Structure 1
Amino acid sequence: MLVMNPTLLLDADENAVSLSQIRINSRSEIPKYWQIYNSIIEGIEQQSILPGYKLPSIHEVSGEFDISHGTVEKAYRLLKANNIINSVNGKGFYVCHTPIGHKLKVFLLFNKLSTHKKIIYDALVDSLGPDVFIDFHIYNNDFQRFSDLIQREDGGHTHYVIIPHFFDQEDKARAIINALPKDKLLILDKFVEGISGKYAAVYQNFQADIEYALTEALPLLRKYHTLNILFPAYTYHPKAILNGFYSFCHAHNFKTRVVYDIDNEAIRPGNAYINLMEDDLVTLVKKIKQTSLRLGQDVGILSYNETPVKEIILDGITVMSTDFAEMGRMAAQLIRENRPAHIENPFRLIVRHSL
């Protein structure tokens, strides 16, 4: 690490970081202050930004990229907190630190960005810390988009973190994942059968998890004679969820139905509904409110994936959910330790008024 005395920086104004060295993509899911931070770090790594170089002023960056002063200030505070830059009264901000040695650069691929996926992202990024470069992409469950992103990757990343949910062509996706260097691979959220070698994984056990949660909820479920699972015909959700659902219902003598389209469903007493998709939950709640049925007595709801709003909808929706924050934290730990462990993420039932 090279640290320069700030008094030596006063004559270094001719060496300045240009605005063109700061790259901000307004369509990116990465917060803009992180993009500013990563631009400076990348320039230092590539030695296009050296100790003594002066950064553009907060006003200049704000005006150039049409972002708030607060966003730029947050990036500069982060750089200063990590001893990357110093501020000199009346002069501005100067680079004072050149990182030396191995730096983590994570190629992060999410299938989509939902409320619970954002929880994973936030926990992962916060746990990794500001010295880690995150190259974040979303492929929208589409295999071709996923394939294109992997093929365009330049090989300069230390880790590949992938949430592998696809509508189709899972075999081809598995082959692409299998071709990645295993010492750099971390599979997140869904375990993928057929991946060889020693690699890291933090995943949900979808079949065991739903059986566990339904068993925990059994005293409440006894009020209903039929359990319905809202499972779209064309979905990326693992079939293991259905296997666990059928196994539980068979063991405890419940009638079962798979509802592929909630829009055409007539809500009847004695039925409990398990939903996977947030849109299906909204439709289901609307349909129940149009009846005189009592939620939690005549009809029940058990929803996948905890989100803050489910605490207040209809006085509370009962949820079964993995711990998404813990998933992000554990993934960060495996990356930091470069440890090829397979870890089953915690799962829990949260009982509320709807069941």
Structure 2
Amino acid sequence: MKALKIKESSQPKYKQIVAYIEDQIASKALLVGDKLPSLNQIKEEQGLSRDTVLMAFNELKNRGVIQSVVGKGYYVLSHDIQPTQKLFLLFDELNPFKEVLYNAIIEHLADKIQVEVFFHHFNPTVFHKLIQDSVGLYHHYVIMPGNLENTHLSIQSLPEDKVYVLDQIHQNLTKYAAIYQDFENDIYRGLSSLKDSLENYQRLHLIASQKQPSSLKDGFSKFCEEFGFEYEVHTSLDDQVLELHEAYLVFEDQDLIELIKKSRARGWQLGKEIGMVSYNETPLKEVIENGITTMSTDFYEMGTELVQMIQSGSKKQLKNKFTIYKRNSL
């Protein structure tokens, strides 16, 4: 069996693992019943994260190519490595929320549909190239354009009835099926539901990088002005000084960590001397610092609804569920 060699290329590392195992099965170097190298072995030999290797194994497992045996490892289950359909999935970036979304898609997809994941990292050139390189190669195209402009010029190369837009939907993409977040109204309604707690603070701060949709800032400003809150909007935490009895709404988990560290250094208690709200729910936010208040779309439901639309052939546009989790940080 030839050795696995992970290369720096446009092909995601987990896809290189999938291709390697497929090649070994096709060449009969791996036969049905043979045991695969362990997750940890591939992780250590290739210098990868365990999640990367697990994503590769999960794809093969969901396609019925391999199976896992509790306490023993992964084994070749079938020599049939050819899926009947392929789905092109283009994310803006990899983060814990996209992992939830990806897992929901994989969990609910029919057998024999292969999902290939790509990331454009908010780079319009990369976005365009990935779209162009995918034309005619897939049965379905699921695209998360992020805040990139003029994405319709690239997407129009694809068959309209095969395209599904996720998360952010721009005016020039409204002809496509979509599951989207209504950022402006979601943040306005979310903050409104937290209004009584926010009134304990003298000023509200929004920390949102340039890659976040501008409609978030519109909804934040609308809330503050309508209810008479003093507020500031920041694109980063650089040189940002925490102020006593003020509240912060943050979008990046790294910013959340920095704010927690700064408040600890001052001996301030979240929900008392300083308020904090984080965008996008994760299990960790439920337990750290006695609980971080979050407002979040439901990425698992987004993935579930997407698969239902693909399987039913529905071409509707659906606003995704949005939930507030009130905890001790506010």
TM-score normalised according to structure 1 size: 0.75
The answer as to whether partners of 2:135 and 2:157 remain within 8 angstroms in 1 is no
Q: What are the residue-to-residue correspondences of 1:1-355 with 2, within 5 Å?
A: 28=12, 30=14, 56=31, 59=34, 62=37, 67=42, 75=60, 79=64, 103-166=84-147, 170-171=149-150, 173-195=151-173, 197=175, 199-232=176-209, 235-355=210-330
Residues 144-203 of structure 1 show CA distances to partners (whole Å, capped at 9, x for unaligned) of 11111112225121111011114x5x12x2311233221000001111211253x21011
Q: Quick one: structure 1 residues 350 and 24, their matched pair in 2 at CA, closer, same or farther if it must change by over 3 Å?
A: farther
Match of 1:86 in 2: none
Letter paired with 1:183: D
Letter paired with 2:306: A
Letter paired with 1:209: D
Q: Quick one: structure 1 residues 114 and 296, their matched pair in 2 at CA, closer, same or farther if it must change by over 3 Å?
A: same
Q: Quick one: structure 1 residues 98 and 247, their matched pair in 2 at CA, closer, same or farther if it must change by over 3 Å?
A: closer
Distance in 1, Cα, partners of 2:270 & 2:77: 59
Distance in 1, Cα, partners of 2:78 & 2:115: 24
CA displacement at 1:320 relative to structure 2: 0.4
CA displacement at 1:253 relative to structure 2: 0.5
Percent identity between the aligned chains? 29
CA displacement at 1:55 relative to structure 2: 5.9
CA displacement at 1:140 relative to structure 2: 1.2
Residues 83-142 of structure 1 show CA distances to partners (whole Å, capped at 9, x for unaligned) of xxxxxxxxx97758998xxx4311110111101111101101111143211121111111
TM-score normalised according to structure 2 size: 0.80
Deviates more, 1:237-246 or 1:127-136: 127-136
Is the partner of 1:266 in helix, strand or coil?
coil
Q: Number of residue pairs matched?
A: 306
Q: Quick one: structure 1 residues 290 and 127, their matched pair in 2 at CA, closer, same or farther if it must change by over 3 Å?
A: same
Is the partner of 1:262 in helix, strand or coil?
coil
Deviates more, 1:320-329 or 1:306-315: 306-315
**Which aligned segments of 4 or more residues in structure 1 are displaced greater than 3 angstroms?**
23-27, 29-41, 57-63, 70-78, 92-99
The answer as to whether partners of 1:110 and 1:139 remain within 8 angstroms in 2 is yes
Letter paired with 1:191: I
Residues 41-67 of structure 1 show CA distances to partners (whole Å, capped at 9, x for unaligned) of 9x8xxxxx9xxx99635558649xx75
The RMSD of aligned alpha carbons is 3.5
Match of 1:14 in 2: none
Name which one, 1 or 2, has greater alpha-carbon Rg.
1
